[in-house]
Amino acid sequence: MKKHLTEETLIFFGILRWFFLATLLGLLVGLANAAFLKLLNLTIGFTTSYKYYYFSLPLVFMAVTYLAKKIRPQDKDYSTDSVVERINSSQEVSIGSSLKAFLLPIITLGAGGSVGKEAPCADVGAGIGSNLAQFLNLTAEDGRKLMICGVSAGFAGVFGVPISGALFGLEVLFVGRLFYDVMFPALVAGITAFQVTKYLGVAYQYHPIDLVHVFSEQFFIKVILAGIFFGICSFVLIELTKYGHLISRFIGMRFSKKLIPFIAGVLIVIIGFTVAPSYLGLGMNEINSVLHGNSVAWYGFLVKIVVTSLTFIAGGVGGIITPILFIGSYAGSTFANFFGLDLATFAALGLVSVLAGACNTPISASIMAIELFGAEIAPYATVSCIISFLMTGHRSVFPSQVLSFRKDAEVDVGLGRKVGAIKPRVKKHVIPKLFKNVTNQFKPPFEELFSKEELKRYKQNTAKSAKKRK
């Protein structure tokens, strides 16, 4: 009995302790969220008042790349993927990295770069959590928990989704695993950050979707088909971003790395001038328009994928979640238009499903659907999110995610490794003998672009960089 009471007492004080720590963290992240979003809105309002504001993109990308590399070059953790890696390896995030994550995305977005507004808040949140843990002299494990809570608080405060935002911070670290021991403080931090950000004048937009309450098998089948389509869209986004970096690396090895920001910037300017400038920048107005049922060009989501990939190739700094929401909503509208379905409903399904597939976060994406669009969409959004999540296989827009389970038992993958480092292979007995010779001769795309010496030099440089980080 005494041990039982002691355990309960310890748990009670542990809950109380984490409630105060998470509340303090949520307050600080909420203040940072509001400051970032207000400054971002002022910057975008000023730059977009000029018709051809995006013509400055090549020079802006060169400036951002220079600032990122030359000013405190040791502070490299200003992207969501690097923050995920730091959290998974229980390493700290410096103040310098947090400042870069705060300022560089404003420059990128103000000039028309296609990045997201959520990563600065989530990355700054992780930095605040890391530095708060150091200030309070907490253990490494507690510091890691605060960093996770910081990511959750940042994401929750940006989009006004406290529950799914908190869960996203837990779900994005490991594919197929949730950190239940951090769930309570993450929720507290997320709700606090959301309330603080909202109190300071940041407005959120919600789009309740009206659905027919009677279950329809025909409609359900269309949702399944939509989930498959959204999974393909997620796959294209992940692969195009990955191979875009391979092409840029090839250009850097053949010519000069300094040309990459300028060339990618020029390509984005051409797309904005010839197609439409609406595919550049943050794109929140376009997302809201689609969610209200307005029709869009069928190729819109593909253009956004290309522009987003080019922005990251050029060295633009920011998140990728907001572009994913743009791509998903446009893909959903395209699917609905093709089959004669309700545009707003499938734009909403696409928004959360592409997020689930690209980031491997089906649970938080499903809950986000409820927070943004109402409870009626929940069963359909959940099915679509899970299918999209499965369709993308063992890949992610965040290569530093750690794989903790197989999406298919017939696929052989290395569990416990980073998603970006694994090479999934179909088990031998699944492949018919007729196709064995074909699969054995298959070579990864773009490998032929590099000579053996270039590949060897690249591997050596990568090994040196990894050694320095350790």
Task: Give the domain CATH number at 223.
Answer: 1.10.3080.10
Domain co-membership, 300 together with 190:
no
Q: Kindly report the pTM of this predicted structure.
A: 0.86
CA dist 440 and 195 (Å) reads 56
pLDDT at 441 over 80: no
* pLDDT the model gives residue 107: 93
Residue written as token pair 């040791």: 74
Domain co-membership, 177 together with 278:
no
Q: What Å distances lie between residue 385 and 292, 302, 394, CA to CA?
A: 21, 20, 15
Domain co-membership, 265 together with 337:
yes
* pLDDT the model gives residue 12: 83
- 450 located within any domain: no
Domain co-membership, 46 together with 151:
yes
Question: Residues 10-66: pLDDT tens digits?
Answer: 888 888 999 999 999 999 999 999 999 999 999 999 999 999 999 999 999 999 998
Domain co-membership, 270 together with 131:
no
Domain containing 92: what range? 2-199
The closest alpha carbon to 184, from 18, 44, 41, 335, belongs to 18
* pLDDT the model gives residue 126: 86
Residue written as token pair 């990308």: 61
CA dist 339 and 392 (Å) reads 23
Domain co-membership, 46 together with 189:
yes
* pLDDT the model gives residue 208: 77
* pLDDT the model gives residue 211: 64
The three-state DSSP-derived secondary structure of 335-391 is HHHHHCCCHHHHHHHHHHHHHHHHHCCHHHHHHHHHHHHCHHHHHHHHHHHHHHHHH
Residue written as token pair 């052989």: 412
Mean pLDDT, to the nearest integer, of 377-384?
Answer: 92
Question: Residues 121-167: pLDDT tens digits?
Answer: 778 888 899 889 989 988 888 888 999 999 999 988 888 888 998 89
Give the pLDDT band of residue 446 (cuts 50, 70, 90). Answer: very low
* pLDDT the model gives residue 2: 46
Number of domains in the chain: 2
- Between β-strands 402-403 and 174-175, what pairing exists: parallel, antiparallel or unpaired? parallel
Q: Which of 20-34, 183-197, 199-213, 218-232 is predicted with the least confidence, judged by mean pLDDT?
A: 199-213
Question: Residues 255-313: pLDDT tens digits?
Answer: 677 888 999 999 999 999 999 999 999 999 999 999 988 989 999 999 999 999 999 98
Mean pLDDT, to the nearest integer, of 440-452?
Answer: 50
Domain co-membership, 47 together with 113:
yes
Cα dihedral: 89, 129, 120, 358 (round 10): 40
Domain co-membership, 50 together with 103:
yes
* pLDDT the model gives residue 435: 47
- 164 located within any domain: yes
Domain co-membership, 290 together with 230:
yes
418 beta partners: 402
Q: Which of 4-13, 287-296, 309-318, 409-418 is predicted with the least confidence, judged by mean pLDDT?
A: 409-418
Q: Which of 73-77, 193-197, 219-223 is predicted with the least confidence, judged by mean pLDDT?
A: 73-77
Domain co-membership, 176 together with 64:
yes
CA dist 443 and 402 (Å) reads 25
